[in-house]
Chain A
């Protein structure tokens, strides 16, 4: 035990439990990726179980004619009485006819893994035959959790990014395109805009974010004179960024370790390892790290951060000194915990499905530093948590706020424990300076609501559990 006076930073404590925890299946990534990549079509090759999950998890989106479908495997597919190639060809031609997408993404599932369907082998052949690019991502529940699904898709997309910038001889076309993009502005204006940037090596960011957040982060970098050459994924598959050897890349989300690895190993990019731009503290360090790697002196970031914190004060008052417990299901946990500790909360445990200590190195270092600076004990980081044990610990520790999946939220609330549904953090806009308030809006909502109800005297809404 370290005493409070002990100024030695405690090292982070990592544990690994049984992996009996609740999370979404990684195929859920199609829900946000088909919306992000507007000309894509996602074909999930799996069973009724996969379809049932997507149908229910996506709720009303299903009715909006989504650009995704199940290729539902039947008994004949499992026993190989049907030919995989012919079956996939038939369905993909149907998709091509009905939707005409620019890319078809095949999502491999547990079933395709078990019956060893060679999707990576079939794709190039079929691609050539039907004339639509096919990207294969094995986003299955045997290997991955929830947001890692996006990681497998983006890692596969890296391979489809153009390798060379548009060559000079195509200048004519490039110019007219440029003119179009510049909305007919005069050449001088465009030049002036170009000069707003420092001369630095190309930078490509990776991670799927809603368009407004892409704009915000791009503008933050622009203020530092940094130009974002491209973003993986772009709004359209046909606009995937050029990635040449030696480009710099930076991730915006903590669950993108395969994508990072692929960019480094297969495309010879240089990864900027930084904390993630979640919370004003994370955003500032993310920007500073990018600046320092590109040899640029950042300006105005300290004031910017301070101003954001000042705007958060009303929310901070609600959570200061309170404890938060992450049960773990989406890999955003470390970044969120780091931000909330900076906000003045304590955090005894961060559950997380999978911890890549190299990809998250800077984030982990910042977490440790934040705990040290805030004078609170470092959290225990529990990889592959065991939900049953966690609930025992939550009861023992008397936690003020539990961030958890929907399977546990209502039962915990009925036992008088405040909860926030974790999936909301993956769909809400939480990146950059501007969205720090949105994170706290989510975090404080149960506290504000339950504060309003507290005098009514019905906190325990389950009958006393029988002691066997």
Chain B
């Protein structure tokens, strides 16, 4: 047992559902108690999704506990098949079904006899893997399933005539994934590479058999897609690029790796000129690093914390591209900690690998950086310590699902990151100067409350009650109540007066 107030990565089933609901026409069925379908709320709220989230629950209740699910799971699968006609149904185990140890695979086998849809059981163990690992595995599992099927039917296509790519790992509820996806497609178009398939976001499972016709796979995020890429490499000899094109230097490295793979595959491409043009003229980041603005950031202290992809890339950008001193960089992807350590070892003084937010908070308080780059939790730590924070990784709130175009990857991504970094530091600087000079407006605020000139008095109880009203409306309530009292010639305001006034003005 451990005492936990906050977690960075969610439970395994969230990962599976993120993959399932990213595909088009794939339905997730959770074997879970009532209330575990909170995923639907998150997707509908955070992604501002217009469509019903294709996830339902086969409810585990007392009866299931007593007698087992029996026909229930099978019935729910066949029912969804009839109602929604999905291509694939993914039966998703949860922490509850992990302990019940029901033979879910058996339900899947039985159900698939009577469904039009394919049915698979997500191969994830709640107690062994987290959201990210589960997402990675589920994507691999679905790819494997459809490629095995295609192979059995002899439907594996040949490689495309011109260079083409699959982009693996774009998911729903992923941090700025939608925008990154658009940016990557644009980058591929600029490089003259056809995008063969993007999975899982908005993909159809019917198209998975087309995956092997691409020349290579691009895996922009360390957390999701790597297992599928490795599988495709082993089975079909497809090379993959797993360098996240985040930041000017890494984007160039990613493109050079692509160039190498394409040339090995028989194409003849030279992207050096493209990289140069983009770096010098399209992205503002290279210029920004030379500008006086960025000079002022030299040696400033920052800390970085997030998932592997974003924390690594951010650490490299701050240290290598902007001359900022990263005191420590950290990740909550403990299961992949060695990779993280290896990636950042030259770019920061210290490495922190933990998923305990208190430890992260303490480490921030200890070094007192000028800015923090982290998740929403670090943003709140920053608020408490009065240190600005740029949010670079999940877990995130609704404001991190912007409708405006905000990629983190590619050349436009480098521009966005410049703004994020610079705004975080200058805000901190402005704040500091304001404090130094005594604030924006040093004149004392003149209280304009009507009560100042009136003979109205509040009883102790009335005042206590007034103070229970949230601060942002208290002034208005006070004014309304006093107006009410004055109109009726009441000189002493009691609790009763307060509520009578509320009823009268209807507020």
Seen from chain A, the residues whose Cβ lies within 8 Å of a Cβ on chain B are: 19-26, 45, 47-49, 51-53, 55-57, 59, 62-63, 66, 69-75, 77-78, 82, 87-88, 90-91, 94-95, 110-111, 113-115, 140-146, 183, 211-212, 215-216, 219, 307-308, 311-312, 388, 391, 405-411, 414, 433-434, 437, 461-462, 468
Do the beta carbons of A407 and B65 come within 8 Å of each other?
A: no
User: Does B44 count as interface, using CB distance less than 8 angstroms?
Assistant: yes
Contact residues on B (Cβ < 8 Å of other chain), bracket:
35 or more
Residues of chain A contacted by B49 (CB below 8 angstroms): 410-411
Return the CB mask of B352-391 against A: 1 if under 8 Å, else 0.
0000000000000000000000000100100100000000
Expressed in whole angstroms, the minimum distance between the Cβ of A434 and any Cβ of chain B is 5
Restricting to B380-431, which residues have a CB under 8 Å from any CB of A? 380, 383, 395, 397
Interface SS of B by simple majority: mixed
Residues of chain B contacted by A143 (CB below 8 angstroms): 61-62
Q: List 16 A-B pairs, Cβ < 8 Å.
A: A19-B34, A48-B7, A49-B11, A57-B38, A59-B397, A71-B2, A72-B3, A143-B62, A144-B34, A212-B469, A311-B506, A405-B41, A411-B50, A411-B51, A414-B50, A468-B85
Other-chain residue from B3, B56, B377 in contact with A20 (beta carbon distance below 8 A): B56
Residues of chain A contacted by B499 (CB below 8 angstroms): 215-216, 219, 434
Do the beta carbons of A53 and B38 come within 8 Å of each other?
A: yes
Expressed in whole angstroms, the minimum distance between the Cβ of B141 and any Cβ of chain A is 21
Do the beta carbons of A19 and B504 come within 8 Å of each other?
A: no
User: Does B436 count as interface, using CB distance less than 8 angstroms?
Assistant: no
Closest to B380 in A: A63
Do the beta carbons of A48 and B11 come within 8 Å of each other?
A: yes
Residues of chain B contacted by A414 (CB below 8 angstroms): 50-51
19 additional contacts (CB under 8 A) given A23-B35, A66-B5, A411-B51: A19-B61, A20-B76, A24-B35, A45-B1, A48-B95, A49-B13, A49-B32, A52-B14, A57-B38, A57-B41, A62-B6, A111-B96, A113-B65, A141-B35, A141-B36, A219-B496, A311-B503, A407-B52, A410-B44
User: Does B126 count as interface, using CB distance less than 8 angstroms?
Assistant: yes
Do the beta carbons of A408 and B11 come within 8 Å of each other?
A: no
Do the beta carbons of A411 and B6 come within 8 Å of each other?
A: no
Closest to B465 in A: A215
Which of B34, B469, B504 is most buried by chain A, counting CB atoms within 10 A of its CB?
Answer: B34
Other-chain residue from A51, A69, A71, A308 in contact with B503 (beta carbon distance below 8 A): A308
Expressed in whole angstroms, the minimum distance between the Cβ of A407 and any Cβ of chain B is 4
Question: A-B pairs with the 9 shortest C-beta distances?
Answer: A25-B35, A141-B33, A407-B40, A414-B50, A87-B1, A63-B380, A47-B95, A48-B11, A141-B35
User: Does B113 count as interface, using CB distance less than 8 angstroms?
Assistant: no
Residues of chain A contacted by B42 (CB below 8 angstroms): 56
Expressed in whole angstroms, the minimum distance between the Cβ of B328 and any Cβ of chain A is 22
Other-chain residue from A51, A215, A406 in contact with B4 (beta carbon distance below 8 A): A51
Q: Bound state CA distance, A142 and B32, in angstroms? A: 9
User: Does B10 count as interface, using CB distance less than 8 angstroms?
Assistant: yes
Q: Bound state CA distance, A55 and B38, in angstroms? A: 11
Other-chain residue from B35, B397, B495 in contact with A145 (beta carbon distance below 8 A): B35
Which of B2, B3, B35, B127 is most buried by chain A, counting CB atoms within 10 A of its CB?
Answer: B35
Q: Bound state CA distance, A19 and B503, in angstroms? A: 40
Seen from chain B, the residues whose Cβ lies within 8 Å of a Cβ on chain A are: 1-7, 10-11, 13-14, 32-38, 40-42, 44-45, 48-53, 56-57, 59-62, 65, 76, 83, 85, 94-96, 99-100, 126-128, 130, 377, 380, 383, 395, 397, 460, 465, 468-469, 495-496, 499, 502-504, 506-507
Do the beta carbons of A74 and B1 come within 8 Å of each other?
A: yes
Residues of chain A contacted by B50 (CB below 8 angstroms): 410-411, 414, 461-462
Q: Bound state CA distance, A82 and B1, in angstroms? A: 8
Residues of chain A contacted by B10 (CB below 8 angstroms): 48, 52
Which of A26, A72, A307, A461 is most buried by chain B, counting CB atoms within 10 A of its CB?
Answer: A72
Closest to A407 in B: B40
Q: Bound state CA distance, A463 and B477, in angstroms? A: 46
Q: Bound state CA distance, A419 and B417, in angstroms? A: 38
Residues of chain B contacted by A66 (CB below 8 angstroms): 5
Residues of chain A contacted by B61 (CB below 8 angstroms): 19, 142-143
Q: Bound state CA distance, A47 and B4, in angstroms? A: 10
Expressed in whole angstroms, the minimum distance between the Cβ of A366 and any Cβ of chain B is 22
Q: Bound state CA distance, A21 and B94, in angstroms? A: 18
Q: Bound state CA distance, A72 and B465, in angstroms? A: 39
Do the beta carbons of B60 and A47 come within 8 Å of each other?
A: no
Residues of chain B contacted by A409 (CB below 8 angstroms): 44
Which of A69, A88, A183, A215 is most buried by chain B, counting CB atoms within 10 A of its CB?
Answer: A215
Which of A19, A24, A110, A414 is most buried by chain B, counting CB atoms within 10 A of its CB?
Answer: A110
Do the beta carbons of A72 and B1 come within 8 Å of each other?
A: yes
Do the beta carbons of A88 and B38 come within 8 Å of each other?
A: no
Do the beta carbons of A72 and B4 come within 8 Å of each other?
A: yes
Other-chain residue from B1, B85, B127, B383 in contact with A71 (beta carbon distance below 8 A): B1
Residues of chain B contacted by A391 (CB below 8 angstroms): 52
Q: Bound state CA distance, A55 and B4, in angstroms? A: 11
Closest to A64 in B: B380
Closest to B2 in A: A72
Q: Bound state CA distance, A228 and B50, in angstroms? A: 48
Do the beta carbons of A115 and B506 come within 8 Å of each other?
A: no
Residues of chain B contacted by A19 (CB below 8 angstroms): 34, 59, 61
Closest to A94 in B: B3
Residues of chain A contacted by B76 (CB below 8 angstroms): 20
Q: Bound state CA distance, A88 and B42, in angstroms? A: 31
Q: With A47-B95, A110-B96, A219-B496 in contact, do A212 and B465 touch (Cβ < 8 Å)?
A: yes
Expressed in whole angstroms, the minimum distance between the Cβ of A105 and any Cβ of chain B is 15
Residues of chain A contacted by B128 (CB below 8 angstroms): 75
Other-chain residue from A26, A69, A406 in contact with B35 (beta carbon distance below 8 A): A26
Do the beta carbons of B65 and A114 come within 8 Å of each other?
A: yes
Residues of chain B contacted by A24 (CB below 8 angstroms): 35, 38
Q: Bound state CA distance, A381 and B387, in angstroms? A: 53
Closest to A183 in B: B460
Expressed in whole angstroms, the minimum distance between the Cβ of A139 and any Cβ of chain B is 10
Do the beta carbons of B40 and A70 come within 8 Å of each other?
A: no
Expressed in whole angstroms, the minimum distance between the Cβ of B52 and any Cβ of chain A is 5
Do the beta carbons of B40 and A22 come within 8 Å of each other?
A: yes
Do the beta carbons of B59 and A20 come within 8 Å of each other?
A: yes
Q: Bound state CA distance, A220 and B363, in angstroms? A: 53
Residues of chain B contacted by A94 (CB below 8 angstroms): 3
Residues of chain B contacted by A312 (CB below 8 angstroms): 506
Expressed in whole angstroms, the minimum distance between the Cβ of B355 and any Cβ of chain A is 11
